[in-house]
Amino acid sequence: MKNIIPLILILLVGVPCSAQDSDQPTKQEIVSLAHKADEAVSRFEEANKSADPFIPDSAVKKGANAALTAHQLVGAITKNGPSAFALVSLIIALNDVTVNAANDAQLISRKAMTAATAGQTVSLNALAAADLLSAVQSSCKDISEQIGRATLRLIKAEESLMRNAAK
């Protein structure tokens, strides 16, 4: 009986400690990152609407579709929990949002430069929309990188578990 008590203590205390030493991201950490991504995508939607008068309708729709996909993936991660597949899908969707924001900001800036060099008045609203799109692009890229690092940590931890189970 005396030998069982230390064994039980080691199992109850030792296992949680080794789990805490793991670099595996927690579900809470990943869900928090997903919510930050959702906020960045919502800001993109606002920027996309403000850019609507200055970019083609096809670009506005493309951006709206990219944002919708990202929102759906965040919802799935929140509901079902993190998986490497879901996180990589979210990273790709965030990349689409980032590229849309960059392309639209660049298009507006080129139009403004063309107008300025032709001696025409440049719309300050257009420049503000381009600036907002650039800011959103940066925030989407940043959160995508954070999710990417968390995904790599998740994959590393899962691979480690699989290697240990195979031994």
Q: Mind listing the domains of the chain with CATH numbers? A: 27-166 (1.20.120)
For residue 3, count other CB atoms closer than 10 A to its CB. Answer: 6
Taking 90 as the threshold, does the pLDDT of residue 126 lie above it?
yes
Write out pLDDT tens, residues 17-36. Answer: 344 446 889 999 999 999 99
Q: 0.85 cut: is pTM over it?
A: no
Q: What is the pLDDT of residue 22?
A: 62
Residue with tokens 């032709």, as numbered in its chain: 118
**pLDDT band for position 165 (50/70/90)?**
confident
Q: Which amino acid, 161? A: L
Taking 70 as the threshold, does the pLDDT of residue 103 lie above it?
yes
